[in-house]
Structure formats: structure tokens, C-alpha cells
Chains A and B, each alone.
Chain A
């Protein structure tokens, strides 16, 4: 058996074993799952080295054949999938190790690890896909297991609601993806990627299919206007949030666009759509993050914003930069989430205004969180800077000036809200008594933080000009990396520092008055209420759906049931009338017989003329 299939099959095996024995083994389940992931990770590294040495593997086998149509399954290993393999397995591995401390004592921990394993396996299957059918299946697998994990604490009403919302909203996007698949099959006659990419589809058709695919990505990667599920998905356990926000769930959408890039290039209009949606998402989510007060919500909106950047990068033609940002983000975002998990574990609250001054009590957490924050804000030399800068440079170089300006504004906002979070949580004086007994988390939780911190610090360097943009050259054959644009670099760096400066003045000193914006301000209300998107969906979709459902219910109860009951009622009334004939008196029956006889006699004499 090929080692590539082992990477995929080990988590699946771990899932199957844990489904059966997870309950019995309890916390020991973690060893199975983590063990499987360690091996998968080691093999992924081997695969990456193989690809870096110029290797390329594609294994396919026929899964089903219907007439002339063959459904194939396969494992595709190229630069993009090798990179994703390593990112997915390492982040999953670290998240699973962290969960061992975070989920300590949970009675369904075996099931938790089973779901984590299969969630990762689904993502690996997606990454491997050489054809769209397989991608679609894995895509749905990711959706199902994210549903199970977000709703892991389903006893909480809000958690089960959030899980349903995530599933429904992403399914809505998948509808587009599904239609796109059908359309592609009609037009191209195949769903194998390499065959599709080798074709010359008409521009308008390609653009339409690409936009439909992008609909799926909009749902999965939480782009405007389907981003609403992601903040709610914070109801899941924090390690799950870390996983969803980095390597698995949301990365799937970006990966789909990156993987289908040749298709998008056939219809350049679709790339414009991607860029515009990405920019709107990046900017909008960053503004919402300004007012969020839940530590995980701030991070959730930052994820949406960063995903917007990735889409922006892919949309403006900076393919490598978009993928690069996907990779760096996959390191610093789980770092921030696991850091937040560590804080929540210590403080037992998610409200940032319950926290404060945690820096002294939780040294490892605060330092690694700071590294993650610097990476997110885009300060050199941390990972986020290099990739974000590449995207901005790409936007600038391709002449998308409006997108470029909004990108820079988002840098300002990102730096501000990130450091607002850091200053409030880790600096200053404690607020309230939540943090009184806060202490550093156990080693099983802080070790993953340190490892991710290391990557958040260094992962960007492989794509920086210091390394001659090695990453871009590796990922994007044919998409040549832009020459470093030092003007853009400097601008984004200075803007990020200005953002941090504002946050410092506002939250660490009294230079900026605390009531810069009054709470009654229109914009403040708009942001606190997340642009009323949830309300918009409520009134635009949920209320009409309910109305239709109620009408259907009324139709069913009044008309359908009415018809059924009406038939029964008529029979019953008929019976009620007829039963008066059956008196039980034999004399009455005899009378009817006589009457009948007389009638027959008269009839036979008068009408038939007998006798």
C-alpha cells in the first residue's frame, strides 16, 4: 500500500476504532488518535520532501462505472496538496494534543477524538482529490464533522443551534457548488481536474461554472454574505474552533478556488468576483471585530477578515500569495485560538472585559499570543506580514487600486483590534475576580502553543524576499512571484504600527478619551449588531420560510386532513342514517320483506306485464 493512502487511512482507522471503543477507553482514546496523527504527519513531511525533490504522484482507481461514465477515486500529490497535507496534519496534531488538556474530564472525550480524526481525514481526502466528485464528497464530510464538533456540547441550546446554522449556511453555498458540478459535467463531459483544465471552455461558461464553485467556497470559507455561521461556530470547544479556523473547514473553500485556479483563469470575470467578495469580507469583518467583546468572537471575525484577504489575493491574480497566506494563517490563527482556549481555561469567561493583567500570570500563553497577534497584525518578521504584503502587492501590481486601498485600511483595523484584545486581556489591571486564580495551563496545552508560536514566527520567512520567495516558486509553477514592492511593504508595516499605536493610546493610556465614539453612535450600533446581517437573514429568509411553512401546515391540516376527515365524516353520517333501518326487531325486517315483495309484485305486473 502506498504511503500516501496511509496518511489518509490512519485517521479513518482511528475514527472507526474510537467509534467502537471510545466510550470504554475514555481519555485513553486520545493516544490512538494522536498516535495516528503523528504517523500521518511524519509521512506528510516525507511526501513534502518528495515533492520538493521534484516528485509528483497521481494514483487513481475506478470506484464505480456507469455505462461510459467512470467515477474515479484518487490521490493526487503535487506542490499544493503536499503543502496542505503538512499544514493539515501538523495543525490537527497540535490541536489534538492541546485538547488532551482542554477536554480533560469530558465524559464524551472518546467521541470527540473520533470526530476530530474523521474531520481531519475528510480534509485530507479533499486535499488529495484529483477530481471534483471526490472533492465534493470530502467537502460534505468536512461539513458533517464540523456540524458534529460545533454542536459537541449539544446539551447547550446555543451550541446545537450554532451547529445547525453552520451546516445550513454552508449547505446553501454547496448548492451553488453542486449546480456548478453538474454544469461542468454537461459542458466538459468529465470531472477530472487535469482533463478539465486542459480544455478550452468558452469564457462565459467557464466564468459561470467558476462563480458557482465560488459559491461553495463562499459558504465554506465564510465569505460575505454567508459569513454568519462562523462567529456562531464559536459555541464548539475552543480546540475545534482552532481547527475549523485554520487547516480544515474554512481552508477548504480557499483550497477549492486555488485548486480550480485554471478554471477561474478561463473566465477572468469570476476572478473579479472573487477579489471583490474577498475585499468586502476582509473589510467588513475587520470592522465588526472592532466592537466584539467576546475573545473568541474577535478571533472569529479576524478569521473571516483573513479569509477575505486570501480570496482577495487569489482574485487579483496573486495566486501564490493567496495560498501563502492560507499557510501562514493556518499557523498563527490556531495559535491565537489555542491561546484563547488557554485563557478561557484559566479564567472561565470569554468576555475580554472580565480579563486583564493576565500577562504576569500566564507567561507562555501571553508571549505566544503576542507572537500570534503580531503575525495577525502584519508586523515583520512574523508570518502574517509576508503573506499579507504579497497579497497587497499583488493587488497594487494588478491595478486594483480600490481593493488595494481597502486592503490597507483593513491592515489598520486588524492591527487595532488585535492589540485592543491583547492590551485588554494581558496588560493592565485585572477587571473583576475571574482572573484571581488564573495560572499557566499544563504542559500538554502550552507545548502546542510554543510549537505554533515558532511557526508563526518563522513560517513567513520561506516566502519572504530573504529566501528568494522560495514558497511562491514551489507552489506556483508558471505564476511568477512579483518582485518585492518595498513601497507597499513599508506602507502596510507603518499602517499596522499606527493601528497598534491607536490601540495603545486607547487602552493603555488616557491619551485617547474612552468615549471617542458614543455607544449611541449610528456606526457603533451598526458594528455591534454586525451590520444587522443576522437580522437581515432573519427577516428576509427565516420569517418568510416560517410563513410558507405555516401556510403549508394550514393547507395540510385544513385541506388535506379536511378531505380525509370529510370522507370519513360522510361515511359516518351515512352509517348513522342507515343504522335506523337495522332496528333489531325481526318484525321490522319482516315488514321490509313484505314491502319489497309487494313492490316486486306490482312491478312485475304493471311494468313487465307478467300474469
Chain B
């Protein structure tokens, strides 16, 4: 059976929305990082879906997805390192506690 493009796009949009809401509403830094991953993967899904439906012979969308995954891995590595380093200072991963630069 052939799944229409719209379904992929809707799934991707839903995933992106969940990730966005997570980024905006979560207080836990780790959860925010996870939500960012969700959004990246939603876009990956988009890229792959478009690639599959519009230019089936070229794997350019898949290549993009691979790059995004690599960047996301690096991002998570850096992000977790930052969170860990902050945690050592304030004993918390709650973003509300990271307020020493606030007015």
C-alpha cells in the first residue's frame, strides 16, 4: 500500500509540535534537550518524505537527514556537557535555577 505524502507531513508536524511544546514548557534541561531532538527528527522525517516522493532517484533528503543526525549527536554531546557542568554548580537541572545572569 502507498501511504500518501500528507500523512508523513502530518506525522512530522505533530512530532515537531510536541517537540516545540516541550522546548517551550519544560523546565528540566534534559527534557528540553530531548524535545529539541524530537523536533530535529520531525524535520528529518520531512526531509526523507519529500525526498522519497519528489526526487525518488536522488537520495539527497536522506543525506540531509544523516547530516542532521550527526549535528544532533554533537549538539547533544555539547548540551549534556553544559547541563552536567551547570548541575555541578547549582545541583539542579531545573532551568529556573539557572538565573545568575538575570536582572
Tell me the A residues contacting B by CB distance below 8 Å: 579, 582-587, 590-591, 594
Judge whether A590 and B103 touch: CB under 8 Å: no
Q: Which of B25-69 contact A (CB under 8 A)?
A: 25-26, 32
Given A587-B26, A587-B32, 6 additional A-B pairs, CB 8 A: A585-B95, A585-B96, A586-B95, A587-B24, A587-B25, A594-B24
Chain B contact surface mostly: helix
- Tell me whether A579 and B23 are in contact in the complex, defined as CB-CB below 8 angstroms, given that A585-B95, A587-B95 are known contacts: no
Judge whether A584 and B23 touch: CB under 8 Å: no
User: What chain B residues lie within 8 Å of A583 (beta carbons)?
Assistant: 102
Judge whether B103 and A579 touch: CB under 8 Å: yes
User: What chain A residues lie within 8 Å of B95 (beta carbons)?
Assistant: 585-587
How far does the Cβ of A371 sit from chain B's closest Cβ, in whole Å? 89
B-side interface size class: 10 to 19
User: What chain A residues lie within 8 Å of B26 (beta carbons)?
Assistant: 587
User: What chain A residues lie within 8 Å of B20 (beta carbons)?
Assistant: 594
User: What chain B residues lie within 8 Å of A591 (beta carbons)?
Assistant: 24
User: What chain B residues lie within 8 Å of A579 (beta carbons)?
Assistant: 103
Tell me the B residues contacting A by CB distance below 8 Å: 20, 23-26, 32, 95-96, 99, 101-103
Pick the residue among A584, A587, A594 that contacts B101 (CB under 8 A). Answer: A584
A53 vs B95: C-alpha distance when bound (angstroms): 110
A519 vs B96: C-alpha distance when bound (angstroms): 90
Judge whether B24 and A590 touch: CB under 8 Å: yes
How far does the Cβ of B92 sit from chain A's closest Cβ, in whole Å? 15
Pick the residue among B23, B99, B103 that contacts A587 (CB under 8 A). Answer: B23
The residue on B at minimum CB distance from A584 is B102
Q: List 18 A-B contacts (CB under 8 A).
A: A579-B103, A582-B103, A584-B99, A584-B101, A584-B102, A584-B103, A585-B95, A585-B96, A587-B23, A587-B24, A587-B25, A587-B26, A587-B32, A587-B95, A590-B23, A591-B24, A594-B20, A594-B24
The residue on A at minimum CB distance from B32 is A587
A583 vs B24: C-alpha distance when bound (angstroms): 14
How far does the Cβ of B44 sit from chain A's closest Cβ, in whole Å? 20
The residue on A at minimum CB distance from B100 is A584
How far does the Cβ of A160 sit from chain B's closest Cβ, in whole Å? 54
How far does the Cβ of B34 sit from chain A's closest Cβ, in whole Å? 14
A587 vs B23: C-alpha distance when bound (angstroms): 7
The residue on A at minimum CB distance from B26 is A587
How far does the Cβ of A287 sit from chain B's closest Cβ, in whole Å? 78
How far does the Cβ of A424 sit from chain B's closest Cβ, in whole Å? 82
How far does the Cβ of A581 sit from chain B's closest Cβ, in whole Å? 12
User: What chain A residues lie within 8 Å of B96 (beta carbons)?
Assistant: 585
How far does the Cβ of B3 sit from chain A's closest Cβ, in whole Å? 23
How far does the Cβ of A599 sit from chain B's closest Cβ, in whole Å? 15
User: What chain A residues lie within 8 Å of B102 (beta carbons)?
Assistant: 583-584
How far does the Cβ of B102 sit from chain A's closest Cβ, in whole Å? 4
How far does the Cβ of B35 sit from chain A's closest Cβ, in whole Å? 11
The residue on B at minimum CB distance from A591 is B24
User: What chain B residues lie within 8 Å of A594 (beta carbons)?
Assistant: 20, 24
The residue on A at minimum CB distance from B27 is A587
How far does the Cβ of A593 sit from chain B's closest Cβ, in whole Å? 10
The residue on B at minimum CB distance from A588 is B24
User: What chain A residues lie within 8 Å of B103 (beta carbons)?
Assistant: 579, 582, 584
